[in-house]
Structure 1
């Protein structure tokens, strides 16, 4: 992936990983558009950066994504990089009947959102030089967190979708997967300061270094996520599943 001179759309760019990467990409010499649901969060993320563009996007809405695709291409016809970063993570108990609203919203945002946005932009991207799609998944796509099952399932699905997309767009659009570990962001309550999670700036700096490699790796894997990514290949999936969930619960409980 070319790291400068692009026009880049970052969904979920109003906070967390999306905001951190958007600023680094802008500083590297790219035109950056950040998109998200909340105008105030986008405005805050772009404060002091008059050349950073903001656009509202509700990735849960099929009609909203279609409309957004038309609007973003009209406003930024040079768009050549899409970073599908928007996502939500909800805790769910699987041992009792429950309201499935959280599960349905997670699927709509984390899975249908990227699928719909790629569909809205793929024809345009194919026609652009140095085009790329970056799908943000998670280390939890490979070893699930039991307390966030639908989140993990959507990230596993996007991992698989990315593999198929890469093959379908071979030699036309570069397709990259970014799989973060647990990072100190606002994804879940208290996560910004949760012990044992990777500091956001450290993560973003490591990602930018990996994106700058030539050729760009098809999977962007910081060191901390390899514990999860390689668990099955290294024959330690079962022990890693137990360790991950014990550590995650202990980290959350330690904040209360």
Structure 2
């Protein structure tokens, strides 16, 4: 994608990868709008980045998405980039009973949210001379983390949806890119500074460079083995990865 002269909406833009992308695009002179549920956090980010805009949005609510889309197209008629970044990552137990509310919240936020957000804005995006939709999935779409089975499944589903949507938009001005992050040191679960997590600054730097290349999939070098795992023998790496995590748990406190 072209990295300048854009009007960009980033869901979940007040923290973690979303905030990192928002600040990187803001520094390049783009008009950036961050969206999220926590007004205080939105205000904190916009105050730290003068000229950045914010809008309250509950990505798990279809009604909130429709209200936000109407406001965005009215107030930012040049909106031409949508970054579907908002997500939650609760732990679960696929071998036991999964809490119903947690399951629905994960699917509603990580899968239905991006689908609804794109659906609400795609008509507007197709009217722009050039536009981009970026879906933030995860390498766990390819090598699921068994302890977050529902989260991993939503990311696999969003990857699949992205492939279909890219094809369906092939004859329009809208391009589809996908970001598939590895474990990045953010507060998605807890910001633990675990040495196994990729530093956020390094991830943003490499991701921005890859976005500029018009790659359909943006996968940082350290995550390529997981991205390339798909195939008839994929279970071997999935089992090896999860056995390692089970023996070396992710800190959650």
Normalised-by-shorter TM-score class: over 0.9
Partner of 2:219: 221
What are the within-5 Å matches in structure 2 for residues 199-214 of structure 1?
199-213=199-213
Cα distance in 2 between the residues matched to 1:97 and 1:119: 33
- Per the TM alignment, residue 199 of structure 1 is displaced from its structure 2 partner at its CA by 0.6
- SS class of match (1:147): helix
Shift, 1:80, TM fit: 0.2
Q: Is 1:141–1:153's contact at 8 Å kept on the other side of the alignment?
A: yes
Asked if the contact 1:137/1:156 (under 8 Å) is kept, the reply is: yes
Mapped to 2, the partners of 1:5 and 1:163 lie a distance apart of 26
DSSP 3-state at the match of 1:148? helix
What are structure 2's unaligned runs of at least 5 residues? none
Deviation sequence 1:123-175 (CA, Å, 0-9, x none): 00000022000000000001100000110111011101000110111132101
The alpha-carbon deviation at position 176 of structure 1 amounts to 0.6
| Counterpart secondary structure, 2:147 | coil
Q: With the length of structure 2 as denominator, give the TM-score of the two structures.
A: 0.95
Distance 1:203 1:118 in 2: 25
Structure 2 Cα separation of the partners of residues 197 and 33 of structure 1: 27
Going from structure 1 to structure 2, the CA distance change for 1:188 and 1:250 (only over 3 Å counts) comes to: farther
1:160 counterpart residue number: 160
Partner secondary structure for residue 35 of structure 1: strand
| TM-score of the superposed pair, with normalisation by structure 1 | 0.94
Q: Is the 8 A contact 1:2 1:130 kept in 2?
A: no
Instruction: Confirm whether residue 7 of structure 1 aligns to residue 7 of structure 2.
Output: yes
Aligned residues: 252
| Separation in structure 1 between the aligned mates of residue 16 and residue 168 of structure 2, nearest angstrom | 30
Label 1:249 to 1:29 Cα distance change in 2 as closer, same or farther (>3 A): farther
Contact 1:180 1:222 in 2 (8 A): yes
| Structure 1 unaligned residues grouped into runs of 5+ | none
2:238 maps to 1:237: no
Secondary structure in 2 matching 1:175 = strand
Question: 1:46: how far off?
Answer: 2.1
CA distance in 2, matches of 1:250, 1:76: 49
The equivalent of 1:87 in structure 2 is 87
Q: Secondary structure of 2:64's match?
A: helix
SS of 1:144's equivalent? coil
